[in-house]
Chain A
Amino acid sequence: MKHLLLGDEAIAQGAIDAGLSGVYAYPGTPSTEITEFIQLHESRRKTGAPIFCKWATNEKTAMEAALGMSYMGKRALVCMKHVGMNVCADAFMNAAITGVNGGLIVVAADDPSMHSSQNEQDSRFYGRFAMIPIFEPSSQQEAYDMMEVAYLMSERLHTPILMRVTTRMAHSRAVVITKDSEPQQNAMPVPENVKHFILLPAFAKQNYNELVEAQTVFEQEAVESTYNAYSKGKNPKIGVVATGIAWNYLMENYKEEMGYSLLKVSQYPFPKALVKQMVSDGAETIIVIEEGQPVIEELIPAYIPSYVKVLGRLSGTLPRVGELSPDCVRQALGLEPLPKNESDSIVVARPPALCQGCGHRDMYAALNEVAREYPSPRIFGDIGCYTLGALSPFHAIHACVEMGASITMSKGAADAGQHPSIAVIGDSTFTHSGITGLLDCVNSNANVVILISDNLTTGMTGGQDSAGTGKLEQICCGVGVEKEHVRVVVPLPKNMEEIKQVLREEIDYNGTSVVIARRECIQTLKRHLKAKKQQG
């Protein structure tokens, strides 16, 4: 059947059709739609076996649960944005050492140009670091097809597989032709050798040796893969290597008469033999086009003679940072830019902003007024819609680094003598990575106020269920915050005086306190009201 699918949706459909038993994920742009597509599929499924698809609390819990499902012989999928790889890195790296039983695919969606992210780290480094095969599709159809190929390979070679996509693959739509057969899930064969999953040094050493030995097999697979293709040109002095969607920008600009030797790479480990072939066919200059960091550009000089010039992001032939475009690839190929209009200077920036009527707004209005009463307040923000409190008109936060850092940074600042030291964190971010930091605060009775801005959802990524909804007070008390210092307010203009008073009291209390500002996200509220109306 033909479908018009986002890259993310093609991955999801590919996994479903390959007999997926469970998807484990924490939302994050541009990966969120994979899990949402599987959730929608599950809500409509009438036949066949169920697929587990509830959101995980963070990427580490997701990765570990998926490994558990794989241990039991079933096919599992883990999805996250690139920075999620940092959170699950311990589980991910060690899953490469245990190997897998049922097929295990980890999808990392990178965001070069940082459309919705704090950095543009390239997940291929993680794949190389863990020494496992990586797939990087160049089209939505490849993304779909690769899922089955990768599950089979994962089971055949007992290794997790990393599927790396970037924003323009994840969030671009094209026609995908899918299989129509009913998906079959794996039966449950217990692992042949459970020692493989017990990483005591004695066993781990053996596993690691096996993983090192497997590298030649992984690489041979990549050399023979139909997703990688080398062709010698009529003018083989110049060669071009293009990975993932960079291939599309190359094809957009490539002219037959150029006659360069071309190497398309969509499966790793990098197929060295193919670039060596390019050189023995006469390449003296190799242009490397890759989305993200210069991973391959840094790698290939080690495999080829030093007289061959390697050009790419490091040489300045392509921009060092940011995502590729048809324009910069055009320039790298030595073509003139297309005739175009000048940009118009009347246009001004339109930055994203908190929605009108959002509870975070009222929370910041109160916090800003109270903070002004102290000579040098420090407010450590975190990741979510409320990070927009850094911009006009609030200018309310003094830091925002990675999920959970507000709590632990405010603790470190308080340890250094800062007062008031305040953390602002969303409900989903709090359960993702804030709880352990709060325990650190409690254990040293750090003089901090942790303000949880609870909109009852994971707002920034589109309103997914939030793991702590209905449990936040219990969690805080359970971790050991004094009950009288776990306060709840409703962020509405009419409650301004009360909220300010609560904040003052908790700032003045010498110890760890939590203030929960709770009001539903207005986007999810609208959706809930609409759904109610439709029900009658």
Chain B
Amino acid sequence: MKKDIILAGVGGQGILSIATVIGEAALNEGLYLKQAEVHGMSQRGGDVQSNLRISSDPIASDLIAKGGADLIISLEPMEALRYVEYLKPDGWIVTSSAPFINIPNYPDLDELKRHVESFKNHVMLDVESLAKEAGAPAQAANMVLLGAAIPMLGIDHDKMIEGVKRVFARKGDEVVAKNVAAVEAGYANGIKL
């Protein structure tokens, strides 16, 4: 088993929490893991990405090669497209449909969505609305996205839910329940393989 994942978004959106949950579940499965993070300058509202690699065999490089990623998980549609060079030709894009517009020259949204849809393997969801419908706060949008990505991760749904529970356990039962609900909402609204 080997999955190379690019997590993408805008500084402050919370891509690292997604990585934390996947990492927790992967380690619990006895898998190897490497995760290159972005700290520093680009966190100030710029584009951010993290390379997450999980595998049943030892992992060498911290970075994923171009054409090597199985999956892009993005909290923002343009940010998903920023890394398509890294995606395998038959790789998956799982992205939020909501644009984060903090630049004057943001591209036309409809055209942008058509570009995402031109990838055979894509899931594009309004994760914030789904979070709210599930009774979770908008900040749990990243957990909805994680839920939608579960079928492509190579880790069981139930194992991922256990991972969410462990990661949020110290924040209390209510926070755990809301985050689990958010993950389930993403899973239910995504694509089953």
Chain A contacts for B87, CB-based, 8 A: 340-341
Contacts of A200-219 to chain B: CB distance below 8 A = none
Chain A contacts for B107, CB-based, 8 A: 346-348
- Say yes or no: B67 contacts A339, CB within 8 Å: yes
Chain A contacts for B79, CB-based, 8 A: 350
**Could you say which of A245, A342, A352, A385 contacts B62, with CB atoms under 8 Å apart?**
A245
User: A352–B35 Cα gap in the complex (Å)?
Assistant: 22
- Say yes or no: A173 contacts B61, CB within 8 Å: no
The answer to whether the Cβ of A418 comes within 8 Å of any Cβ in the partner chain is no
Per-residue CB contact flags for chain B residues 122-138 toward chain A (1 = under 8 Å, else 0) read 00000000000000000
* With A172-B35, A175-B32, A340-B85 as contacts: A460 and B65 at CB distance below 8 Å: no
Contacts of B80-108 to chain A: CB distance below 8 A = 81-82, 84-89, 102-107
- Say yes or no: A326 contacts B45, CB within 8 Å: no
- CB closest chain-A residue, reference B19: A173
Nearest chain A CB to B115 CB, angstrom units: 6
The answer to whether the Cβ of A337 comes within 8 Å of any Cβ in the partner chain is yes
**Could you say which of A250, A339, A352, A392 contacts B42, with CB atoms under 8 Å apart?**
A352
Per-residue CB contact flags for chain A residues 327-343 toward chain B (1 = under 8 Å, else 0) read 10010000001111111
**Could you say which of B41, B45, B61 contacts A116, with CB atoms under 8 Å apart?**
B41
Nearest chain A CB to B187 CB, angstrom units: 24
The answer to whether the Cβ of A353 comes within 8 Å of any Cβ in the partner chain is yes
User: A6–B35 Cα gap in the complex (Å)?
Assistant: 9
Per DSSP, chain A at the interface is loop
Contacts of A379-435 to chain B: CB distance below 8 A = 385, 388, 392
- CB closest chain-B residue, reference A346: B107
- CB closest chain-A residue, reference B103: A350
User: A339–B86 Cα gap in the complex (Å)?
Assistant: 10
The answer to whether the Cβ of A86 comes within 8 Å of any Cβ in the partner chain is no
The answer to whether the Cβ of A252 comes within 8 Å of any Cβ in the partner chain is yes
User: A173–B54 Cα gap in the complex (Å)?
Assistant: 12
Nearest chain A CB to B55 CB, angstrom units: 12
- Say yes or no: B88 contacts A340, CB within 8 Å: yes
- Say yes or no: B85 contacts A175, CB within 8 Å: no
The answer to whether the Cβ of A256 comes within 8 Å of any Cβ in the partner chain is no
Nearest chain A CB to B102 CB, angstrom units: 7
The answer to whether the Cβ of B11 comes within 8 Å of any Cβ in the partner chain is yes
User: A119–B105 Cα gap in the complex (Å)?
Assistant: 29
- Say yes or no: B62 contacts A325, CB within 8 Å: no
Nearest chain B CB to A501 CB, angstrom units: 31
- Say yes or no: A344 contacts B46, CB within 8 Å: no
* With A172-B35, A174-B34 as contacts: A350 and B10 at CB distance below 8 Å: yes
**Could you say which of A348, A350, A461 contacts B40, with CB atoms under 8 Å apart?**
A461
The answer to whether the Cβ of B166 comes within 8 Å of any Cβ in the partner chain is no
Chain B contacts for A30, CB-based, 8 A: 39-40
- Please give 18 more A-B residue pairs, beta carbons under 8 A apart, in addition to A337-B67, A344-B84, A349-B103: A116-B41, A171-B36, A174-B32, A174-B35, A249-B60, A251-B61, A252-B61, A326-B65, A341-B87, A341-B89, A346-B107, A347-B78, A348-B105, A348-B106, A350-B102, A352-B41, A354-B44, A392-B104
A-B contact pairs, 7 of them (CB 8 A): A32-B39, A168-B62, A251-B60, A251-B61, A346-B81, A349-B47, A352-B11
Instruction: In the A-B complex, list the 6 residue pairs whose CB atoms are closest, starting with the nearest.
Output: A340-B67, A338-B67, A116-B40, A29-B40, A352-B46, A352-B44
